[in-house]
Amino acid sequence: MSNIINLKRGLDIPISGVAAQITGKRIVPDIVAVKPTDFKGFAPRLLVREGDKVLAGSPVLADKQRPSILVTSPVSGVVTEIVRGEKRKLLEVRIKADKEQMAVDFGGKGVGSMTAEEIKDLLLKSGLWVAFIQRPYGIVADPEASPKAIFISAFSTAPLAADTDFTLKDDLAAIQTAVEALAKLTKGGVHFSIRGETSSSSPFHKVENVIQHVISGKHPAGNVGIQIANISPIKKGETVWTVSLLMLAAIGRLLNTGKLDLSRKVAVTGPLAKDPCYVDAFPGMPMSAIADKVDTEKGAVRYISGDALTGTNVGENGSLGFFDDQVTLLHEGTERELLGWAKPFRTSQFSSSKAYFSWLFPRKKYAMDTNMHGGLRAFVVSDVYSKVLPVDIFPIYLIKACLAGDIDKMEKFGIYELLPEDLALCEFVDPSKNDIQSILQDGINLMIKEMA
């Protein structure tokens, strides 16, 4: 029987440019980028050199502290460039993809006959272990640890997020295989959350051998961290693992076929997307591959790998992140509006606080840009955060504790329960224009350093 949770607090941002449920084209990548920065808590050690031939599933990077954790190539091809930044920090490994793709055959057998150690070994060798995110702290999971439980969110409520009911509907068998494998990695079971508003029509309500939850509510109801906080909050000393539905499907395909397949449908979205739709692609896809989907006539474009709240600004020369199935295209808002705060009659601007009369049009979508409509100012104590965060903590006190570097208060106010993505809406509605996600991440980094 499903557990039904109805979250009352949250906010759906009405941004224009949702992807139509059609697949526009299949992108055959020329250059694919493997980015170690996609994996938090992963200290990369390079395993290849320029000119090396790789297959899909060939190891490219290893973790310096835990050498068994690998990052593998998503495609077959030739390593063409090793990109480094300041102090020789490794930023990217660029691979020129073959026209005919080939993959390492990891073999394998039926999940039912595999032990937990055999499943771990296969995931480590294939490079898919990095799909497991450990909470607290949001780092790559420790394969030697035993989590309290494993949590999966089968939907996203982020702005313009890819509709998993459309993108992964054909991977139901792979997802079922994966959850059966994951159940062997924990004694606490696999918690699987589906969206309440579409639960009856979603193909994922058929997934078996899971603890199913039906979650209703506005964003961030789809965030797995919010779901964990409302199902089984993380206490000090406990760890849980999370896996995105996208990665779950990849794990299932690996177990069923013995080969790494990271292909995915990617939603090309946003106000500056021409005919927003889906494309078939791989992680590391260059943004230049969707140049025909970008409306450049309206000015400079911000290319975001992910959603508008939590995605990464990769630029037109950047590439799709390992965990992302969405690209958001926004106008770089550099314009200044004279006395904009004194114009309440504007109906072209969205305000979460109903400062403008646009709230009279609840179904309207807005061509939002990157303008902040104000600058950094004194930290105002108010209840705006609590109105959009469906978790029983005091977010403003947690953020202040992070700013002060006070570990005791960070623990007291809930740093074990949240990651930056969970406070993204707080940043959106913040009247003081603070970079709340970065502040929380700095606090998490301090916790990792001091509590290790």
Q: Are residues 164 and 215 in the same domain?
A: yes
**Rounded distance between C-alpha atoms, residue 406 and residue 429, angstroms:** 25
Q: Are residues 234 and 327 in the same domain?
A: no
Question: Are residues 163 and 174 in contact, defined by beta-carbon separation less than 8 angstroms?
Answer: no
Q: Is 304 helix (H, G, I), strand (E, B) or coil?
A: strand
- Summarised one tens digit per residue, pLDDT across range 297-343 is 888 999 999 999 999 999 999 999 999 999 999 999 877 776 666 66
* pLDDT band at residue 2 under the 50/70/90 scheme: low
Residue 373, domain member (yes or no): no
Q: Are residues 37 and 10 in the same domain?
A: no
Q: Nearest-5° angle of CA 267, CA 312, CA 101?
A: 55
Residue 352, domain member (yes or no): no
Q: Are residues 276 and 253 in the same domain?
A: no
Q: Which residue bears the tokens 């109105």?
A: 387
* pLDDT band at residue 131 under the 50/70/90 scheme: very high
Residue 356, domain member (yes or no): no
**Rounded distance between C-alpha atoms, residue 97 and residue 27, angstroms:** 12
71 contact partners, CB below 8 Å, separation of at least 6: 34, 36, 39, 42, 44, 59, 60, 61, 62, 127, 130
210 against 28, higher pLDDT: 210
CA quadruple 153, 157, 161, 162: dihedral positive or negative? Answer: positive
| Strand-pair partners of 268 | 277, 327
* pLDDT band at residue 449 under the 50/70/90 scheme: very high
For residue 213, what pLDDT is reported?
97
Q: Are residues 8 and 78 in the same domain?
A: no
For 292, the token pair is 């025909």
Please say if the pLDDT value at position 121 is more than 60.
Answer: yes
Look over the chain and give the mean of its residue pLDDT values, rounded to a whole number: 93
Q: How many domains does the chain have?
A: 4
User: Helices 245-257 & 172-182, crossing angle to 10 degrees?
Assistant: 90
- Summarised one tens digit per residue, pLDDT across range 213-234 is 999 999 999 999 999 999 999 9
Least-confidence region, from 151-155, 341-345, 354-358: 341-345
Q: Are residues 9 and 33 in the same domain?
A: no
Question: Are residues 294 and 273 in contact, defined by beta-carbon separation less than 8 angstroms?
Answer: yes
Q: In what order do the strands lie in the sheet with 264-269?
A: 23-26, 277-281, 264-269, 326-331, 301-305, 312-313
Q: Which helix (H) or strand (E) holds 121?
A: helix 116-126
CATH code at position 69: 2.40.50.100
Among 276, 67, 54, CA closest to 161 = 276
For 277, the token pair is 């739709």
What is the pTM for the complete model shown?
A: 0.95
The mean per-residue pLDDT over the stretch 403-411 comes to 95
- Summarised one tens digit per residue, pLDDT across range 422-447 is 999 999 999 889 999 999 999 999 99
CATH code at position 315: 3.10.20
The rounded radius of gyration (Å) of the Cα atoms in the chain is 22
Q: Which of 323, 343, 363 is the last residue of a domain?
A: 343
Residue 153, domain member (yes or no): yes
Q: Are residues 138 and 239 in the same domain?
A: yes
Please say if the pLDDT value at position 134 is more than 70.
Answer: yes
Please say if the pLDDT value at position 195 is more than 80.
Answer: yes
Residue 399, domain member (yes or no): yes
Residue 350, domain member (yes or no): no
The mean per-residue pLDDT over the stretch 54-58 comes to 97
Please say if the pLDDT value at position 241 is more than 80.
Answer: yes
Least-confidence region, from 46-60, 222-236, 373-387: 373-387
For residue 341, what pLDDT is reported?
62
The mean per-residue pLDDT over the stretch 246-258 comes to 97
Q: Are residues 7 and 140 in the same domain?
A: yes
- Residue 399 domain boundaries: 384-451
Q: Are residues 421 and 303 in the same domain?
A: no
Q: Which of 82, 97, 112 is the last residue of a domain?
A: 97
CATH code at position 147: 3.40.50
Question: Are residues 227 and 213 in contact, defined by beta-carbon separation less than 8 angstroms?
Answer: yes
Q: Which of 257, 290, 305 is the last residue of a domain?
A: 257
Q: Is 196 helix (H, G, I), strand (E, B) or coil?
A: helix
Q: Are residues 91 and 167 in the same domain?
A: no
* pLDDT band at residue 1 under the 50/70/90 scheme: very low
Q: Are residues 142 and 226 in the same domain?
A: yes
Among 120, 111, 117, 93, CA closest to 32 = 93
Least-confidence region, from 131-140, 190-199, 348-357: 348-357
Residue 106, domain member (yes or no): no
Residue 179, domain member (yes or no): yes
For residue 340, what pLDDT is reported?
63
Q: Are residues 124 and 166 in the same domain?
A: yes
